[in-house]
Amino acid sequence: MTQDLARIRAFVQVFDSGGFSAAARQHGRSKALLSKYVTDLEDYLGVRLMNRTTRKLSLTEAGEAYYREASALLQQLDDLDATITDQTAEPRGMLRVSAPRNFGETTLAPAIYEYLKKYPKVTLDLRLEDRYVDLVDEGIDVALRISTLADSSLIARKIADMHVVVGAAPELLKQFGTPKHPEDLRQLPCIIDVNLQGQSNWRFVEDGKTISVPVNGPLRVNSPLAARKAAIMGLGFVVLPSYLAEPAVFSGELVPVLTDFLPTGQTLQAVYPHRRHLAGKVRALIDHLVDWFATHPIH
């Protein structure tokens, strides 16, 4: 059984690393031994799992199916081992975390780096990108998301409250006037961040009910920082998370509008896959972030 697991783990490590040489460097094993393990596994199964060329390594159709199941099996075994050792041991090992780029760079980084100082035996793989990340398929241990939980295959824990700001440059307000109601935005230039939930349909609350206002404008962009810059330059109204809006509001570059109609209830959540055993390093990170943001509120 031990030998079987070694072969399976070698196969997964080689593909995750992108090749035999890279896997050998990362895991401190010889390239020859990894190659032997993978070949032995293929011989045992009676199918080819990998297409080997000098330039690229890829999986066969059978290899893709086997990789998915083998990765899940190894993760369960690793989680089980971690559960036993985590009861007494200090968090350790690789921790893969996903978060939105701008939030990660501006607000999350100090919190998560403090975690690394607290637990020096943990190695962090921090992935900052503005796209939907499939935690299971991409091997992510925990993702920080600013939203409400929609995927029933995931578990979420609230980290902190969040809110949004609608604003515009003073010169734009002089030109068009200050909107009194969200519906006024239909006739006004708006900067659309395509990463925003709803994109060009902005959500507000009136008398306890959610209203959606379709907006248009001179710019669609997939970066809240770029959207903020466009708004500061007077190109249109913008919806921004508070942690990006507040510096521009404080400097006077943006003026908040429609504050009485802004939705509440949005939160920063730590999201992780359903697993019977939650690794101690993940639990320690989530606990740390809850404590951190309790004393460092997100403005």
* Mean pLDDT, range 87-96, rounded to an integer: 80
- CA angle, corner 266, sides to 262 and 272, nearest 5? 165
CATH topology identical between 1-77 and 164-256: no
Per the structure block, which two tokens stand in for 267? 């939160």
* Mean pLDDT, range 281-298, rounded to an integer: 90
| Tens of pLDDT, residues 93-134 | 899 999 988 888 888 999 999 999 999 999 999 999 877 778
pLDDT attached to residue 83: 65
Stated as kind and residue range, the H or E segment containing 57 is strand 57-59
Contact criterion met (CB below 8 Å) for 30 and 24: yes
Asked which of 28-42, 182-196, 260-274 is least confident by mean pLDDT, the reply is 260-274
DSSP 188: S
Per the structure block, which two tokens stand in for 122? 């943990």
Domain boundaries of the chain, sorted by first residue = 1-77, 93-158+267-295, 164-256
CA distances from 32 to 1, 47, 71, 226 (A): 21, 20, 22, 49
pLDDT attached to residue 279: 77
Q: How many helices (H) and strands (E) would you count in the chain?
A: 10, 14
252 confidence band (pLDDT: 50, 70, 90) = very high
pLDDT attached to residue 287: 93
Residue 86 pLDDT exceeds 80:
no
Stated as kind and residue range, the H or E segment containing 77 is helix 61-86
Contact criterion met (CB below 8 Å) for 157 and 286: yes
- Max mean pLDDT range (2-16, 166-180, 198-212): 166-180
Residue 266 pLDDT exceeds 90:
no
Q: What is the 3-state secondary structure (H, E, C) of 120-139?
A: CCEEEEEEECCCCCCCCCCC
| 154/91: higher pLDDT | 91
| Tens of pLDDT, residues 134-188 | 887 788 899 998 765 555 567 888 898 888 899 999 999 999 999 999 999 999 9
Dist CA 253 CA 245 (whole Å): 10
Kindly report the pTM of this predicted structure: 0.61
243 confidence band (pLDDT: 50, 70, 90) = confident
Comparing CA positions, the residue from 97, 89, 94, 142 lying closest to residue 122 is 94
| Tens of pLDDT, residues 26-82 | 788 888 998 899 999 999 999 999 987 767 788 999 989 999 898 888 887 877 776
Residue 2 pLDDT exceeds 60:
no
Per the structure block, which two tokens stand in for 6? 């070694």
Q: At what angle do helices 2-17 and 61-86 cross, to 10 degrees?
A: 110
pLDDT attached to residue 184: 96
CATH homologous superfamily for 93-158+267-295? Periplasmic binding protein-like II (3.40.190.10)
| Beta strand 164-168 pairing with 238-241 | antiparallel
Dist CA 35 CA 49 (whole Å): 12
Architecture of domain 1-77: Orthogonal Bundle (1.10)
Residue 215 pLDDT exceeds 90:
yes
In the CATH hierarchy, which fold is given to the domain comprising 164-256? D-Maltodextrin-Binding Protein; domain 2 (3.40.190)
pLDDT attached to residue 261: 94
- CA angle, corner 224, sides to 218 and 229, nearest 5? 60
